[in-house]
Structure 1
Amino acid sequence: MQRVTAKYYIETPLDLNHAATVLAGEQSSGTFVAVPGETEELKHRFAARVESVTVLDSSTTPAIPGVEVKAGVYQRAMIEVSWSVENFGYNLPVLISTLQGNLYELTQFTGLKLMDIEFPHSYSQVFEGPKFGVDGCRKLTNVYDRPLIGTIIKPSVGLSPQQTAELVRTLAGADIDFIKDDELLSSSANSPFEDRVDAVMRVINDHADKTGKKVMYAFNISDDMDEMQRNYEKVISAGGTCAMISLNSVGISAAKKICDIGELAIHGHRNGWGMMNRHPLLGIEFPAYQKLWRLAGVDQIHVNGIQNKFWESDDSVVRSIEACQKPLFGGYSVLPVVSSGQWGGQAPETYKRTQTLDLLYMAGGGIIAHPGGPGAGVTALHQAWHGAVQGLTVAETASKYPEFALSVEKFGKK
């Protein structure tokens, strides 16, 4: 029988094998005490199985509250646990409840983090995965052999549809590839969703008619299910190519329902990520997280950025980009979205460490707040990536390109 295998990073003051067995029991056929009906035959078919326990280091203090021991040693390990597909079939919410449910409540653990998931091949026959991915997003934007350059509408909330459209006009004229609503804006008092879509798409369609280049704009359609579908249909009717959803807010079932429509590229924003990942021994790691959203069909997903404005380390960002590049079932392409306090100065290190151009490289303030205006900000991002691919340093690139040099003056000390 095919099985799903999950890898966890754990900490416990108890015997490691015992703690792993408790997790397997709690998340399958067992409970805190033996019950009638849990026969050996039932357990053989439905009980989770501890596949491996790899001992790591230890600590004298617990990472998070758990079982109380006196002057104990908190042992850390990597464990692998597997479940028969029969337990949950191809039901993503129940799969997630199994992999990430009550196990976080178990007092036996003083640390527990889901690190990765391996799915059997049968999942590829049920879940189609991203409809567009890297190649599809490149085709929609007609951008090849370099990263897609993008930005976020700033101020995040407060601009009218007309003001937003004028900013889009400036950015489109500067050869931007991608623009998105901020995740804080969907439909506000002064910017109703339908009005904003109409105003922005008039500009984008007019620019495409004149130049042949259609800017991809990710409208934030996040809402309840019925309203999301109406928002999605509005974007299609206006000639848009992309919609954004806040993954952790709408949930995997709603995201999959939207992705299954298949007419728009789906930009997956992971706001709320720090709540799931920031603690080193609690939550979920990105390699596991992005696989779930790839199954749902998301085409683009945020990965933070090198030297970002948040807490995430550069090493973690690089691992996230590499996780997106790793084929799932030999395909399921997803475009990593680099963002969070980015400007052209991080491009050389990003390219050096990842050696990929298959990125959506976004700068909000790094474009909008450029001393020469948003148009010069877009130009500076293009210049930064020209320099990065050529192996130039930030200083060498600045000496070659005046718009990028202004970026260095403005953002280089931040």
Structure 2
Amino acid sequence: MLMYNEDIKGFFSSREELNMPDYLTLEYYLECVGDIETALAHFCSEQSTAQWKRVGIDEDFRPRYAAMVIGLDVLGELPQLSYSVPHSETGKIHACRVTIAHPHRNFGPKLPNLISAVCGEGVYFTPGVPVVKLLDIGFPQEFLSAFDGPKFGIAGIRDLLKAYNRPIFFGVVKPNIGLSPEHFGEIAFQSWLGGLDIAKDDEMLADVEWSTLADRSCELGKARIRAEKETGEPKVYLANITDEVDQLINQHDIAVKNGANALLINALPVGLSAVRMLAKHTKVPLIGHFPFIAAFSRMEKFGVHSRVMTKLQRLAGLDSIIMPGFGSRMMTAEEEVRDNIQECLQEFGHIRPSLPVPGGSDSALTLEAVYRKVGSVDFGFVPGRGVFGHPMGPKAGASSIRQAWDAIEKGLSLDEYAIGRPELMAMVAVENAKKQHS
């Protein structure tokens, strides 16, 4: 729609002029081509009232339904766009940090409709704004009140495991693809004996012909009970039920009946609405994994910041959220990892905290660094090969994790504490050998 000067003003306001409980607040990084205010007016119009009156009728839908700019920080002029995005506009290019107030009456407490508005066609196809990154969403209490959030949260997971005042120790059973249910169950059993709290399916292992969810959950359910009897500690089998949406409830019921006492779901591939549906139905904690998120979050100045997806996963009802961690393999800035951890833990109305699980190539050798960076014991630690690739086997691998935590609690170095503890000593020896050959 053609914008005149008087039209542009209708898309600018302030917090003082608006009833903010009626609005979400959206933080964007934008690169605008040409006149900044014209570009921002189009940006607001395209995500809300693309046409704000009928032809021949004296009316204006903008005061009630328009997204509006309530904050603008022009960061500077750029010689060119950060990315070569095709666009038809000409003029100077400016980088901007923009705060938008978007009336949630436009979509209601429905996650698919919310996402369609704030990072949909209108946002990424606005004239004069070829580079866009959604950085954050702020929710008023009125909007949050329609959501249940996590059913268990951190406290519920701790109660399930009777594990307090320490991290929760996960392990991704390896080999992650190819094991029969029987072999998978035996490896998980050994890791539980060594001290893991949670043995989990890989996010890529679901219901397949050679390891059906029914068979695998039955084997793991029995192995879990054996491990609990031998160790005297509660254990969790985390079964991956990611599937077509119309199969999720059935997969939940099969896995839980067979002894899975937590469930893994790849949140973005199945959709946040599916997660929300499952959270209402579930009898056990739901733990989310991060496939598909990096595809639109990794670029620094384009897409959607991963903190937005973490916040939406918590809102949808995930009790724990696995995310890219601090290891270099995960290609995620430390600040971004911290942002995502904070999104799990910070006050969010009545919504329970989710347990953050930053992961990626971890082992007993990295536990202290992760703990110091998180800044509390409220996190999950999720090695894979750091447990199941241990030279003495998965039981020893899990023991090395628990020994590393004991060393942290006692204020001792791993080298000191490994003396007389062959499981931890083996990991320290591997690390020392790497240093000698580097």
Question: Which residue matches 1:296?
Answer: 316
Could you say which residue in structure 2 is the equivalent of 1:353?
Answer: 373
Q: Does 1:307 align with 2:351?
A: no
- Counterpart secondary structure, 1:345: coil
Q: What is the distance in 2 between the residues matched to 1:129 and 1:38?
A: 43
Question: How far does residue 229 in structure 1 lie from its aligned partner after superposition?
Answer: 0.9
Paired residues for 1:233-312 under 5 Å: 233-312=253-332
Listed as ranges, the matches of 1:126-205 within 5 Å are 126-205=146-225
Residues 26-84 of structure 1: CA deviation (Å, up to 9, x unaligned): 000115x98638965311111111111112244323122143577x6532221111121
Alignment-mate amino acid for residue 65 of structure 2: F
Q: Does 1:118 align with 2:138?
A: yes
Q: Which residue identity is paired with 2:93? A: Y
Structure 1 pair 260–155 and aligned structure 2 pair: CA distance change class (3 A): same
Give the counterpart letter for 1:62 in structure 2: L
Residues 327-342 of structure 1 aligned to structure 2 (within 5 Å)? 327-342=347-362
**1:54 aligned residue:** 73
Q: CA deviation at 1:288?
A: 1.7
SS of corresponding position for 2:73: strand
Shift of 1:180: 1.1
C-alpha contact 1:369 1:377 (8 A) present in aligned 2: yes
- How big is the shift at 1:107? 4.5
How far apart in 1 are the matches of 2:80 and 2:360? 33
d(CA) in 2 for partners of 1:226 and 1:211?
Answer: 38
Whether 2:382 is the aligned partner of 1:366: answer no
Give the percent of matched residue pairs that are identical in Structure 1 and Structure 2: 28
**Alignment TM-score, normalising by the size of structure 2:** 0.88
Secondary structure in structure 2 of the residue aligned to 1:214: coil
Amino acid at match of 1:338: P
- Whether the 8 Å contact between 2:190 and 2:395 is mirrored in structure 1 is yes
Say if 1:150 and 1:179, in contact at 8 Å, map to a contact too: yes
Aligned to 1:109: 129
SS in 1 for 2:145: helix
Name the residue aligned to 1:409: 429
The letter of the residue matching 2:117 is T
Q: If the length of structure 1 is used for normalisation, what is the TM-score?
A: 0.93
* Structure 1 SS opposite 2:329: coil
2:340 to 320, 323, 332: 320
2:106: which partner in 1? 87
Q: 1:214 to 1:9 in 2, by over 3 A?
A: same
Alignment of 1:44 with 2:63, yes or no, is yes
Structure 1: distance between partners of 2:189 and 2:430: 24
Question: C-alpha distance in 2, partners of 1:62/1:200?
Answer: 52
Q: SS where residue 365 of structure 2 aligns? A: helix
Letter in 2 for 1:374: P
Cα pair distance change 1:393/1:78, threshold 3 Å = farther
SS in 2 for 1:96: helix
Find the counterpart in structure 2 of residue 214 from structure 1: 234
Matching residue within 85, 96, 99 for 2:118: 99
Cα distance change on mapping 1:207 and 1:387 into 2, 3 Å: closer
Q: How many residues align structurally?
A: 412
- Judged with a 3 Å threshold, the aligned counterparts in structure 2 of structure 1 residues 80 and 37 are, in CA distance, closer, same or farther, namely farther
Structure 2: stretches of 5+ with no match in the other structure: 1-18
Preserved CA contact (<8 Å) 1:351 1:388 = no
Question: Secondary structure of 2:175's partner?
Answer: coil
Q: Are residues 35 and 203 of structure 1, via their aligned partners in 2, closer, same or farther at CA, if it must alter by over 3 Å?
A: same
Is the CA contact 1:307–1:313 (under 8 Å) kept in the aligned structure 2?
A: no
SS in 2 for 1:344: coil
Conserved 8 A contact 1:6-1:82: yes
The structure whose Rg is larger is 2
Amino acid at match of 1:59: L
CA RMSD of aligned residues (A): 2.3
- 1-side partners of 2:411 and 2:43: how far apart? 49
Residues 257-303 of structure 1, C-alpha deviation per residue, up to 9 Å, x if partnerless?
11111311001011122102110011211322222111111111122
* Cα distance change of structure 1 residues 58 and 320 upon mapping to structure 2, 3 Å threshold: farther
Q: How far has the Cα of 1:175 moved from its partner?
A: 1.7
Once the two structures are superposed, residues 353-382 of structure 1 have per-residue CA deviations (whole angstroms, 9 ceiling, x without a partner) of 221111110000111111121111111112
For residue 300 of structure 2, give the secondary structure of its aligned residue in structure 1.
Answer: coil
